[in-house]
Structure 1
Amino acid sequence: MALRVVQWATGGVGAAAVRATLEHPDLELVGCRVYSGDKAGRDVGHIIGGDRLGVTATDSIDEILALDADAVVYTPLMANPDEVAALLRSGKNVVTPVGWLYPSERSGAALRAAALEGGATLHGTGIAPGGMSEKFPLMLSAMSTGVTFVRAEEFSDLRTYQAPNVLRHVMGFGGPPEQALTGPMQKMLDAGFIQAVRMCVDQLGFAAEPRVRSAQEVAVATTTIDSPIGLIEAGQVAARRFRWEALVEGDVVVQVAVNWLMGEENLDPAWTFGFEGQRYEMEVRGNPDFTVSVKGFQSEHGDQGPESGVVGTAAHCVNSVPAVCAAPPGIATYLDLPMISGKAAPRFRPPLVAPD
């Protein structure tokens, strides 16, 4: 029997998660929660620009809670812990890219209690954080001994990110530097990336200081730059860097960083992606030292279609559903789950055999 899945929110990640659920041989889409009155009552296939699926979207949380479903792929822009708790208490497993990658006992206590009450499991995943920032560096570290340093770093051109309101009003692009540096982005990113650093610290066994050090920088345009939010004028923010570090007696042992640029030209300071271009880069220092670059999750400027990283985020969530549904109730991190993989495209799968 296929696992019955509800999609919560149909933005970029949500729409990609619907498509991923439809492609997964072990999952069935049975419901969808939307925020817009214009989407409520419509077929989910039409909402994501496809054919009719026979699943009607609703803006009623009560309808979703009452639905017979095994799991919810929860992908709003911002997490609401009360919503997640209600889903868990209703007996629905929750997989999400917006939090709870590696919560502390204190920060996860309420949701852990809700999960135990409902006999359900909560799992935080994604791409960065949620994969490239901690899961994959830890996997790679298995090929080195005497590890002294682990780094995970993103290099992305945000001219491909088609979310102008988020870019301007949340991420601080196109405004004055002082506004970006005092805006909400650092605090919003801290929640996930600090958990990513702590997961690496704990799993690798570093005697790191309890506090994770964070820092941010901005670069401004030196002349007009075209972008998804329109023209960024000289002196306005056109690139951002964030960094999180764990230290042992002053030595950085784990570092996670992001570099978000509106292209590589006309920036002050003159930041670039380097000769390798856009990528996720993971470094392990030990015996031996090595660096791994992963390309393909960042679309190139001018490409049409969904941002590859958005699709990857959705796929990581959807492919995790069977393992999360099989896990004991509570909060499950990557450290608690078996290896998760994608599934073959339908035309490459064995034919279905009808039961006797």
Structure 2
Amino acid sequence: MLRTVAGMKVTGEAFGPRLRTALDALRLGMRAVDSAIARPLHPGLEVLAGLLADRAIPRRQSGSRLQRAYPAGGVCLHGTGLHPGLMVEQVLLRMTALLDEVHEVRFLEVGDLSAAPDGMWGGLESLGFGMPLPAVDSGHAIGLMQHFYFDAVLGDVAHALYGAWSDAVRVERHLYPVPARVRVRAGGTVVEPGTVGAIHMIYRGYLGDHLFMTNEECWHVGQGNAHLGQDHPSSPAGGHVITLDGHPGTIEMRNEMDAEAYSADWSAVTDISVAAMLGVVPELCAAPPGVVMPDLRPHYLLESS
């Protein structure tokens, strides 16, 4: 983990002025650890590194403590949103019921971040937008931060489709920047042509050598800088593509926003996320204490006269 953090790239000021100094010191430390002189000390250094990493970035705790707390407090917990939440854990997984066998699934989300407030994620510069192209790659902080929860999404899909546990899932991350074509001012950030105008993030989930899911995020600033690949939504305002490959065939669903009706005063991501949250309130109020999860099994109602 420390070696991964040592190679992390940061832009903007979201992490504070001391982080770059700390990363420089960590890189020097890792060079010393990897030297021939320090090789005999590696077993002890591994233990020490684990303790240091746990203090800086605590490992996720198991859910047992929460499970004990729900009945004591008489509360329910449910997490949702557009993605993670609704699009994969409910829409995509419900669609897989149409196939006899599921070999591979793909989810692509495309969005325009030009309406994002300056304080969101520390500002667009902290995400890499408006920066020189070499500043953004698979080691950029935004890729590592998203890895934290997209690996959980991939783990959920692996368990739902194949009964595998998340520790059996291997996740590979790949990020690349796309140069801006037009000048855009978004809040306090100015994106000039030739700087980072779009970022494509890819997270591939494997069970052994089997690629079972690809999760892709493609963000841009301004519709004129939309990265519209052949398999992307055709709307510069953004959208989603779900692809299921299996037997007896392939299923694809596209959701494309109306670019002409798009307004910075309205965000589909926010609207859908809030609708999902409000929609679950009655079920949460009626449920006994505990974790409330989506039920992907078919539901039927008996017709009454």
111, 124, 127: which is aligned to 1:168?
124
**Contact 1:173–1:239 (Cα < 8 Å) also in 2:** yes
**Structure 1 stretch displaced more, 123-132 or 327-336:** 327-336
- Pick from 156, 172, 183 the counterpart of residue 199 of structure 1: 156
Q: Does 1:261 align with 2:258?
A: no
Check 1:128–1:229 CA distance in 2 against 1; reply closer, same or farther (3 A cut): farther
1:329 and 2:283 aligned: no
Q: Percent identity?
A: 23
Cα distance 1:266–1:309, how it changes in 2: closer, same or farther (>3 A)?
A: closer
Answer 1 or 2: higher relative contact order, Cα 8 Å, separation at least 6: 2
- The equivalent residue for 1:294 is 255
Greater helix proportion:
2
Rounded to whole Å, the distance in 2 between the matches of 1:131 and 1:118 is 27
CA distance in 1, matches of 2:64, 2:143: 24
| TM-score using structure 1 length | 0.56
Unmatched 5+ stretches in structure 2: 1-59, 300-305
Alignment partner for residue 185 of structure 1, among 142, 146, 150? 142
Q: Kindly state the Cα deviation for residue 212 of structure 1 after the two structures are TM-superposed.
A: 2.4
The answer to whether 1:220 aligns with 2:176 is no
Q: Is the 8 A contact 1:134 1:197 kept in 2?
A: no
| SS of the residue 2:244 aligns to | strand
**Which SS does the other structure have where 1:134 is aligned?**
helix
Contact 1:168/1:175 (CA < 8 Å) preserved in 2?
Answer: no
**Separation in structure 2 between the aligned mates of residue 174 and residue 187 of structure 1, nearest angstrom:** 19
Q: 1:236 to 1:206 in 2, by over 3 A?
A: farther
**CA–CA separation in structure 1 for the residues paired with 2:284 and 2:128:** 35
Query: Which letter does structure 2 place at the counterpart of 1:326?
Result: A
Could you tell me which residue of structure 2 aligns to residue 129 of structure 1?
Answer: 84
Residue correspondences, number: 232
1:237 aligns with 2:196: yes
1:300, CA displacement in angstroms?
Answer: 5.5
Partner of 2:272, secondary structure, is helix
- Name structure 1 gaps, 5 residues minimum: 1-103, 340-356
User: Aligned partners of 2:71, 2:135: CA distance in 1, in Å?
Assistant: 42
Q: Which moved more, 1:166-175 or 1:254-263?
A: 166-175
Partner of 2:30: none
* 3-state SS of 1:257 partner: strand
Larger radius of gyration: 2
SS class of match (1:113) = helix
For the 8 Å contact 1:264–1:272, the answer to whether it is kept is no
